[in-house]
Amino acid sequence: MDTSATANPVERGSRRVGVVRRVRVGRSGFVGQLATAPGARGVVACVSLGAASRRPRLEAHAAAAGPGRPRHEVRQQFVRVLRQHGFATLHVELLAASEAGNAELAHDVALLAERIAEVLDWAAEREDIGHLRVGLCAADVAAAAALCAATLRPARVVAVVARSGRPDLAGAALARVSAPTLLVVGGADPERVQLNRAAMPVLACEKRLEVVPGATRGFDEPGTREAVLHLAGAWFANHPAAAPTPN
């Protein structure tokens, strides 16, 4: 259900190009934000652990909001870039405020994957985006859960983008991922570079590893977030999702 009484238009110049609304997603009522777009070619669902997590989060565009940069600004930037590529966007926080500080839940990849599958089912039932397939975008542990969720709903996930992810935590599911997968890591984060390079031969799907020079895990360096945004946008654009979603 939508939680906002009125929806906010997304504008480019003076021309309305879509609507942003707060939503409660699935039977669990996850907090979300849906930005629809006329004639969208697909939906990019950005899933994060949300405010309950103390770890770096994917807040809308596979890069966590850095010091002095509010979450809503990061989300707006992501919406703009993905809209330029023709996508609607959905942002969902997988952990509730009541789950704050629960490290066990924050690292329960199987549970998080089931929650992402619930998000995908919810999206498939909506009149405005149900006919579109979904691209998944996530970071860190949530990226591992997104890869697992792609194996739970293979007909609904058209592509995956993982930023500073932990593909090793996907376990045996990693080899079963069929959705084209882009792994993005910072060049100044050797631990994640190594983990993601090790995942490449395990992934049997179309895949690519992008190392952003000079970027650390949070992609806080000037220009690095924008680099991630455009890499993600291009990846999803090259794997269009405007196809009926099977029941």
| pLDDT attached to residue 63 | 36
| pLDDT attached to residue 28 | 83
| pLDDT attached to residue 14 | 30
Q: What is the pTM of this model?
A: 0.83
| pLDDT attached to residue 75 | 66
Tens of pLDDT along the chain (247 residues)?
444 433 554 444 333 346 888 999 988 888 899 998 788 889 999 999 875 454 433 333 333 333 445 556 666 777 788 888 889 999 999 998 888 788 999 999 999 999 999 999 999 999 999 999 899 999 999 999 999 999 999 999 999 999 999 999 999 999 999 999 999 999 999 999 999 999 999 999 999 999 999 999 999 899 998 899 899 999 999 986 544 444 3
Q: Edge-to-edge strands of the sheet including 30-36? A: 8-12, 15-25, 30-36, 87-93, 42-48, 134-139, 157-163, 181-186, 207-212
Q: Which domains are seen in the chain, by residue range?
A: 8-237 (3.40.50.1820)
Rounded (5°) CA angle 242-31-4: 85
| pLDDT attached to residue 15 | 38
- Longest CA–CA span in the chain (Å) reads 49
| pLDDT attached to residue 73 | 66
| pLDDT attached to residue 54 | 43
Contacts of 16 (CB under 8 A, 6+ apart): 9, 10
